[in-house]
Amino acid sequence: MKLTDIKCKNAKFDPNEKPNGSKHKLSDGGGLFLYIKPQGKYWRLHYRFDNKQKLLALGVYPQVTLSEAREAREKAKKLLQNKIDPSAYKEEEKRSRRINNANTFEAVGREWHAKKSTGLSEQYATTIINRLEVDIFNRIGNLPIRDITPAIMLDALQDIEKRGVYETTRRAKQYCGQIFRYAILRGLADRDVTADLKDALETKKVEHCASIEPSELPKFLSDLYRNDARMYPTTRLAVELMLHTFVRTSELIEAKWSEFDLEGRVWTIPPERMKMRKAHLVPLSSQALKIIEDLKRYNGNYEWVFASATRPRDHMSNNAILKALDRMGYKGRMTGHGFRSLAMTTILERLSYNFDIVDAQLAHTKRGPMGAAYDRAKYLEQRKKMMQDWSDYLDKITLGSANVVEGKFGINN
C-alpha cells in the first residue's frame, strides 16, 4: 500500500522492534521507503545497477516531503534507463556544488585581480579592487560564477547605473567581462554573460573625456583668470599646471616636492604613480616653473605640492579640479582628463609637432610586445622644446593674440 502524508507523519519508532525490522521500513513502492530510526525518519531507495543491489539516500522527512521523495525516485529511474548509477550521479552533483561554492564570483575575481595587478601601478590596481568590492562583490560576489546569468549581471550593473555614474557602470561591466573570460580559461565558466548586455545599459558620453575645442581656448583662459572665478589660489594653480603639463589628474594632485628638479627643469613621476608602472619625465617650461614657485609660497612646508586646503597633511581631492571647472561654467564640457586631448589636438594642429612626440609626452604606453620597450627619455629633447612652445602658445592666447597665425614651432622628425 502506498504511503500517505498522515501515515508518514504518525509513524513512530518502536523500541520493541528490531532496528531494521519491517515495521521501521514503510514502503511506497518502486523501491522507495521511509526508514524510521530513533533519531528521525529517512527516505531511502532500493535499486539494482550492474546486477548489484544498491541503496540511495533521498533526504530526511519532513524536510523532504512524500511528493518530493517520489520525484527523486522517478529521477533515479530515468538515470537507470540511461545506464547511469544514481549514487554516482549524486556524488558528482555534490562535487560540482563544492567546486561552484569554492569558485564564487568574488573568489575568481580576486584571483583574476591578483594576476592582473602584476602589470599595474599599485594605485591603479587598488582602484580596480575597490570598485569591485563596492559595486560588484557585495551584490553577486557570493554566487558561483557558473550560475550567474545575464539577468543577474544586468541587475547588478543597473544598481550602479541608477546612481547616474555611467562611466563607473561601464568600467564595472568591463572588469566583470575580464573576470568571466579568465574563468572560462580556468574551466570555471562556460561563457562571458556581459557580452549579452551590449544594448541593455545607458549609453552616456563618458564624462572624463569631455574637452573643449582648441578654438575655445581663448575664452577658457579668460574665464580662468577673471577675478570672479571662484576657487582657492592653489586650485587655480593646479588647473594652470595641468594645462601646461597635461598630466593625468591623479599624477598632478599626488605630486610631491621630491619629484621636482627645478634646476634641471624636469618633473619625474615615479613608476608607482603611473598607470603602467613606468617612470615618466615631464619637461617643465618657464611658465610651469613659475607656477611651481608660486605653489611653494602656499605649500612649500608640506609633503604634497597640492596639499589640501582644509587638510594639508593630505593631497588635494580628486574632484577639486572638476568642481573648479564646473564653477567656471564648464560642467559637462571640460574635465581634468580633457586637458590631455585638448593639448594633443592643439599641438598637432597648430604647432605641427609629430604625433609620436606628443604621444610620448602623454605617456601612452603601447600595448603588446612594444610596450616593454617604453623609454621614459624618448624624444626628450624634442619634448622639452615642445612643452616650451606649448606654454608660449598659451601665453599668446592669454595676451589676446589668438588670431595671430602661428609659426611652425614643431619638430617633425
Mark whether 364 is an active-site residue.
yes
d(CA 167, CA 160): 10
Q: What is the pLDDT of residue 27?
A: 92
Q: What is the pLDDT of residue 203?
A: 61
DSSP secondary structure of 250-291:
HHHHT-BGGGEETTTTEEEE-GGGSTTS--EEEE--HHHHHH
Q: What is the pLDDT of residue 198?
A: 81
d(CA 260, CA 69): 76
The whole-angstrom distance between residue 308's C-alpha and the CA centroid of its chain comes to 27
Q: What is the pLDDT of residue 15?
A: 84
d(CA 94, CA 234): 62
Mark whether 182 is an active-site residue.
no
Q: What is the pLDDT of residue 1?
A: 72
d(CA 203, CA 101): 34
Ranges of residues in the chain whose predicted pLDDT is under 50: 205-208, 366-374, 401-413
Q: What is the pLDDT of residue 165?
A: 74
* Catalytic entry in 44, 77, 90, 275: 275
Strands 260-261 and 52-61 come out as unpaired
Mark whether 89 is an active-site residue.
no
DSSP secondary structure of 186-207:
TTS-S--GGGGGTTTS-----G
For residue 333, the one-letter residue type is: R
Q: What is the pLDDT of residue 368?
A: 35
Cα diameter, the chain: 111
Q: What is the pLDDT of residue 412?
A: 42
* Catalytic entry in 374, 376, 378, 396: 374
DSSP secondary structure of 327-391:
IIIITTT--TTHHHHHHHHHHHHHS---HHHHHHHTT-PPSSGGGGG--TTTTHHHHHHHHHHHH
CA nearest to 90, candidates 100, 101, 79, 105: 79
* Catalytic entry in 54, 256, 364, 376: 364
CB 308 within 8 A of CB 314: yes
Mark whether 248 is an active-site residue.
yes
Domains of the chain by start residue, with CATH:
5-97 (3.30.160.390), 105-204 (1.10.150.130), 209-398 (1.10.443.10)
Q: What is the pLDDT of residue 376?
A: 62
pTM: 0.51
Mark whether 24 is an active-site residue.
no
Q: What is the pLDDT of residue 229?
A: 64
* Catalytic entry in 337, 379, 383, 393: 337
CB 321 within 8 A of CB 336: yes
Mark whether 374 is an active-site residue.
yes
